A and B are shown apart, each in its own frame.
Chain A
Amino acid sequence: MHRQREIIESSVIVLFFVLTLFFLSYYGRNHVSRLQHPEIRLLADPGAVFNAWATAGIHGKVLLLFDRRLGAQPVDQGLSTFSASEFKNASDAGLFLAALGNDGFPIDTKGGDAVAALNALISSSNLYDTWRSIHKGGELSAEARKLVRNTGRFRGRDFGTLDDRQKSDVLRLNRMILEETYPDKCPKGLANIASAENYVYVAAQKGVVRTIYHIVPDGAWSEVSRVLSGYKMVTSSGETFRMVIVEGVPVVIMRMKDIPRLKEKVLVNINGDYWSDREMAEIIGLFHRNAVEADLVTVSGRLSAENLADLKAQYAR
C-alpha cells in the first residue's frame, strides 16, 4: 500500500513537471508574433523604428540590429521635462505658460524662457494639490491617480530633497496632469517615449523584442570592444560580448561574421548611415543565402538605389 502510494505520488509529480515543461515551451513559442507577408519598411530615422514595430503588432521577437549604436538609453525623468522641440511653434510654449498663469498656477516668467518656466512648474512637488484647488472635481486617468498615491508621502516636500525615484515620479505626475488638463496646449511628451536613443530599450521593456543581436560595423569593432571590455557586467567570449538591459533582455554584440544561425524569422533593423554600400550588399547577401530569415526589415538612413532594389527583389521572391 505504502509502495503503491509512493509510485502514484512520484508519477503524478513527474507528469506535472513534464507537462509544465511542454506547456511553457509551447506558451513561449505561441506568443511570438509572425507576419503573414514579409515586409520592408523604409524609415526617416531610427527613432521611428519602435512605432513601425508597434503598428505591425510585433511581439517577442529576436532582433538583428545593424547599427553603430544600440539605442538603449534608459527611459528616465528627462522625458517628463519639456523641451523646446516639442512645441510646433516657438510661441506655443509661451502661450501655454500664459494659459497656466491665467488659471492661477504659480508661474515664474522672470527669466523669459517659457520652457524653463514650464520645467520649473513641474518641478514643484505640490503641483497636484495646486491643480486640485484650481480644477475642483477634475478627473485624472488611472495611471495619474496611481502616481498621486505613489507620491502621497513626499508631495509638498522641497523637490531638491527628494531622491531620484521620487523626483522622477513627481515630474511624471505633474507632466501627466498638464497633458490631461490642457490636451490642446500641452505636447504629448509622455506618449512619444521612443527616440533614436532609447527605442531598443522601450522595445525590450514592452516585450516587442526578447533577444538582441547587435551587429556593429567592422571598422568600429576595435573601439566597441575596447569600451565594452571596461564594463564589469559585460562578458566576453572571444569574438562577441554579452550583456543584459531592461527586463533582463540579453544583448549580444558582434561583427557580421559572427552572426549565429537563427532558427526563426527575426526582426532586422538597419541604420544605413553606418554601413558602406559594400557592407550593405553583404547584409542583403545574408538574406539571399538564407543565413537570416526576417519577416520585418526596417531600414533608416542612407541606402543606395542598387541595394534598395536588391533588398526589394529579395522580398519579392
Chain B
Amino acid sequence: MLDRSNIGILIVVVAFSFALRFWGVGDAKYFVGDESMDIPASENYVAAGQFTPEFWFHPPLNYFLLQGSMKTFGDNPYGWRMKNVLAGSLSAAALFLLALELCADARVACAASMLLAIDPLHVFMSRTVLVEVSAVFFCTLCLYFSLRYFRGSTRSPVPAGFFLGLCVASRWYYLVCVICLFAFAVFKTFQEKRWRWLNIGHLFSAWVLLPLGMYLLAFAPWFSRGHTLSEFLQMQLDAYRELQSLDLQWFASDFLRSSPSSPWGWFLRPLIDGGLVRRDGGLGQFFVFMNDPPVWLLTFPAAVFMGHRAWKERNRSLAGFVILFLAMYGQFVVVRRPIFLYSSVTFLPFVCILAAFLVVSLMERWRASAWHYGVAMGAIASWGLYLYPLVTGRFVPVSLYVPLFAMGNVHF
C-alpha cells in the first residue's frame, strides 16, 4: 500500500509539519502555561514519585517523556518542548499511514495528514509540554496497528497493545479504546468462527493485559514512596473521585475559567478564545486557543457519511472507526467535570480522516481532476498558513483577523 510516491508525500508532510512546529519553539526562554507545573513535576516524579506541583490524579507517563526529552535536548526551552514538536510532527506521518490503511486512498491520506499538520490547535499544543500531543501520536499508531491486525496485514496484535499501553498511561479516557478494540477483536474472532479460549486469551493479553502492565509500570516511582498494590487500587479510586469532583472554580487560571468548558460545541460551532498580549500599531500579538471551523464543523456530517458508506459497502473498518470516534467522544459528553478545548486535540485523528474522507469522496463524485485536488490541497495549506502566525504568538496585522475574532471570543 505504501509505494514510493506515497513515501515522497509522507516525507514532505512530516517536513512541513515539523517546520511549523519547530520554528521559534525556543523563543520563549521561560516557562509558558503548564510548563511551570509539568517540568518541576516531571523532575519530582521521576526522582521521588512526587506529583507536586502537578495534580496527583493523572496517569504519569508524560513525566518520563518530558525527562527523556530534557536528557536528550537539555534543560532548556528545546528540551522542554521537543517531545511534543517531534510527537506532533510524527503524528502527521502516523495519520497518513492510518488513513491509507483505512481508506486505501492516498488522496484521503494526504489530505488528512495535511489537515493535522496545519491544524491550529495541534500546532499550538505541539509547541507546549501538554500530554495530549504525545497521547494522540500513540493513539494513531495504536489504531494503525490494530487495523492492520484486523485486516490480516500483520499477525500480531502486540504492537497495537503496546501503543495502547502508552495511551492509557498518558490519559484515562483511552480506556474506552481498550474496551472497543478488544470488543472489535473478539467480534472478528466470533465472525470468523475462531472462537477458542486460546484466541480470546491471546487478544485479551494483547489489548488488555499488556496496556494494564504498562500502566502499572508507569507508577513505579509512586510505589517507591512505600506503597503496596492494594493501596494502588485505592489511590485509583480516589483519583477517579477527585476528577469527578472538579468544577470550574477549582481551576486557578482565569483564562481557563472563562473559556468554553463543555465538549458539546467542539464540532458544532467556531470556538476561538483568547486575547491580545501586545499591540504595536496595526500589529498585534495574540494568545489564541481555537478549533479550525471549516474542518471541525465537517466532523459530524462526515461521520454520518462514513457510517453510511460503511453500511452500504459492509466495510467493518470504516464502521469500527466511526463507532470508536462516537464512543470516545460520548464519554467526554457525559462526564460531569469541565473539559476544556485543549482536550479536543484527542479527536484530531478522527476529525482529519473524517473530513478528508468526505471531501475526497465528494470530489470524486463530481469527477474532480488531479488539478482540482491540487487546488484543494493548496487551499488547505493556505488556510493553515493564515492561522499559523496567529496561534504561534507572532505579531500579525490585526485587521486581517478581525472577521475571525468576530466568530469567537477574542479581546483586542
Contacts and interface: CB of A to CB of B under 8 A. Distances in A.
B229 A24 contact: yes
B205 interface: yes
A6 B30 contact: no
A151 interface: yes
B224 interface: yes
B205 A31 contact: no
B49 A248 contact: no
A150 B253 contact: no
Contact of A2 (B32, B48, B155, B205): B155
Given A3-B198, A9-B205, A24-B223, A211 B29 contact: no
Which secondary structure characterizes the binding site on chain A? helix
Contacts, number: 138
Contact of A244 (B216, B226, B242): B242
Contacts of B198: 3, 6-7, 10
B228 A28 contact: yes
Contact of B56 (A13, A17, A247): A247
A53 B100 CA distance: 60
B267 to A, nearest CB: 31
A100 B227 CA distance: 48
Contacts of B262: none
Given A17-B213, A61-B226, A207-B226, A150 B31 contact: yes
Interface in B148-167: 155-156, 158, 161
B12 to A, nearest CB: 35
Nearest to A247: B56
A250 B206 contact: no
Interface in B199-222: 199, 201-202, 205-206, 209-210, 212-213, 216-217, 219-220
A37 interface: no
Interface string A7-34: 1011001101100110111011101100
Interface range for A: 35 or more
B365 interface: no
Interface in A154-197: 163-165, 169
B192 to A, nearest CB: 12
Given A6-B202, A149-B30, A247-B51, A13 B158 contact: yes
B227 A149 contact: no
A151 B30 contact: yes
A146 interface: yes
Interface stretch (B111-119, B230-238, B299-307, B334-342): B230-238
A246 interface: yes
A31 B231 contact: no
Nearest to A5: B155
A210 B209 contact: no
A28 B219 CA distance: 11
Interface string A271-291: 000000000000000000000
Contact of B223 (A7, A31, A211): A31
B1 interface: no
Given A152-B31, A207-B50, A233-B245, A29 B228 contact: yes
Interface residues of B, number: 51
B205 A13 contact: yes
A21 B230 CA distance: 11
A233 B242 contact: yes
A261 interface: no
A317 interface: no
A206 interface: yes
Contacts of B253: 163
A17 B48 CA distance: 24
A169 B36 contact: yes
A242 to B, nearest CB: 9
A205 interface: yes
A233 B57 CA distance: 14
A31 B225 contact: yes
Contacts of A59: 225-226
A284 B48 CA distance: 34
Contacts of A151: 30
Contacts of B49: 207
Contacts of A6: 198-199, 202
Contact of A13 (B30, B50, B52, B210): B210
B223 A248 contact: no
B252 interface: yes
A153 interface: yes
Contacts of A25: 228-229
A163 B226 contact: no
A61 B226 CA distance: 7
Shortest 9 CB-CB contacts between residues of A and residues of B: A60-B226, A152-B30, A13-B205, A248-B56, A28-B223, A32-B226, A6-B202, A17-B213, A207-B225
Interface of B: 28-32, 36, 40, 48-52, 56-57, 155-156, 158, 161, 198-199, 201-202, 205-206, 209-210, 212-213, 216-217, 219-220, 223-229, 231-232, 234-235, 238-239, 241-242, 245, 252-254
6 contacts: A9-B158, A17-B205, A24-B220, A24-B232, A152-B29, A244-B242
Given A5-B155, A210-B226, A246-B56, 18 more contacts: A6-B202, A9-B156, A13-B158, A14-B205, A17-B205, A17-B212, A17-B213, A21-B216, A24-B216, A60-B226, A152-B28, A153-B30, A165-B252, A206-B50, A211-B231, A247-B50, A247-B225, A250-B238
